[in-house]
Structure 1
Amino acid sequence: MTIAAVLMAVGMAVLPADAQQKAANEGDRKLRIGDPAPPLKQGVYLKGEPVKGYEKGTVYVIEFWATWCAPCVKAIPHLTELQDEYGDKVVIIGQTVSERQNEKIVKSFVTKMGDRMNYRVAMDDNSEIPAGYMTASFRKASGHMALPLSVIVDQEGRVAWLGHPGGLVYGLKKIVGGSGETD
């Protein structure tokens, strides 16, 4: 254990449990709500047009998921509904993680899902970072390693919301305004 870790542990021992958790979380995070979103750097896109960067005025949802993650698979139809509802106002990207970059498995899964998974899907880029660029830049940097994880990037290219996709509809209503339907 490093000296810094010992000092942090000793210092935290006098804090209440909830304050200890908050301090630990804050110390680990490098990406917070309101920060500029890390650049998009994905590997192969398996579905939809690749997104090279954030366009001002567009909201992005980056959904971190894996084929083996039951809650992730359960969220897929909901994400499709949101993509249909918001149309061009929101770009949803299903960002695979922890697939050991096995494109064949993910591609087969996406093909089998068909229109039930009607949004962009990309593999993570692990050419420079073994765990994957998107995983390191978003999940690890934000301290949110559980799957599934939804990240909303607002119209200005800033991280506006992070959480479980079950709360995504509320985040989108707050950021985009109302539902995505037009009159």
Structure 2
Amino acid sequence: MKKLILLSLCILLIGGLSGCGSTSNNEVEKNPLSKKVISKFLAKDLDGNEITNKVFKDNDLTVINIWGTECPPCIEEIPELQKLQDEFKDKKVKVIGVVSDKQTEAAKEILNIQKANYTNIIPDENLEKEVVNNFDYTPATIFVNSKGEVVDTFIPGSTDFKNLKTIVGNILANKN
């Protein structure tokens, strides 16, 4: 009986963690949204300011990190994304976090603790349907060009600054 209870607890624990991902080998796979254009959306940042798909046009590359407030790998990745924002701030690269669970106050608190000041938004229905719902886990990071097109590569799970910097550098070097 004890073995059955222990087995059940292990299955529940594994199942509960399946929504959060950490990529220990920093693998880069083909993006399920590759070449898709992110169409019109009207989201709000954590301060209530409106953000639309026009945010892409002013940047050569926008790094979109989809995360949740109850996902430890997501929270651990935030300082890495802030380093990326700081590193590329003068190179027309912008980092945007998308708070998939829409927990505005929790997200504000987490970002404050992590000392992150890059833009984070609560997705509207269109952004949720077109982007967020295409991933069964968090975090996931996609890269969008100035036309709003999602590039081929993405990062399933969390990663570090070094990997992010390499990927962004490669995408920028290969842009047409």
Q: Please give the TM-score of this superposition, normalised by the length of structure 2.
A: 0.65
SS at match of 1:60: strand
Residues 1:120 and 2:119 aligned together: yes
Structure 2 residue aligned with 1:181: none
Whichever residue aligns with residue 91 of structure 1, its letter is K
Whichever residue aligns with residue 138 of structure 1, its letter is V
After TM superposition, give the deviation of residue 48 of structure 1 in Å: 9.9
Structure 2 residue aligned with 1:67: 69
Structure number with the bigger relative contact order (C-alpha 8 A, sep ≥ 6) is 2
Q: Supply the distance in 1 between the matched residues of 2:107 and 2:47 (Cα, whole angstroms).
A: 11
Structure 2 residue aligned with 1:93: 96
- C-alpha change, 1:103 and 1:118, in structure 2 (3 Å) is closer
Identity of matched residues, %: 23
Structure 2 residue aligned with 1:37: 38
SS at match of 1:64: strand
Alignment of 1:1-183 (within 5 A): 32-42=33-43, 44-46=44-46, 50-52=50-52, 53=54, 54-55=56-57, 57-88=59-90, 89-98=92-101, 101-113=102-114, 116-125=115-124, 129=125, 133-141=126-134, 144-160=135-151, 161-164=153-156, 165-166=158-159, 167-177=163-173
Whichever residue aligns with residue 107 of structure 1, its letter is K
Q: Deviations over 1:38-57 (max 9, x none)?
A: 33432x31269754212165
Listed as ranges, the gaps of 5+ residues in structure 2 are 1-31
CA RMSD of aligned residues (A): 2.6
After TM superposition, give the deviation of residue 92 of structure 1 in Å: 0.8
Listed as ranges, the gaps of 5+ residues in structure 1 are 1-30, 179-183
Bigger shift: residues 145-154 or 165-174: 165-174
SS at match of 2:89: helix
Q: Deviations over 1:122-165 (max 9, x none)?
A: 1122xxx4xxx423211334xx3211011100133210132234
Q: Supply the distance in 1 between the matched residues of 2:61 and 2:49 (Cα, whole angstroms).
A: 16
**Does the 8 Å CA contact 1:47/1:120 hold for their aligned counterparts?**
no
From the CA coordinates, give the structure whose radius of gyration is larger: 1
After TM superposition, give the deviation of residue 93 of structure 1 in Å: 0.8
SS at match of 1:87: coil
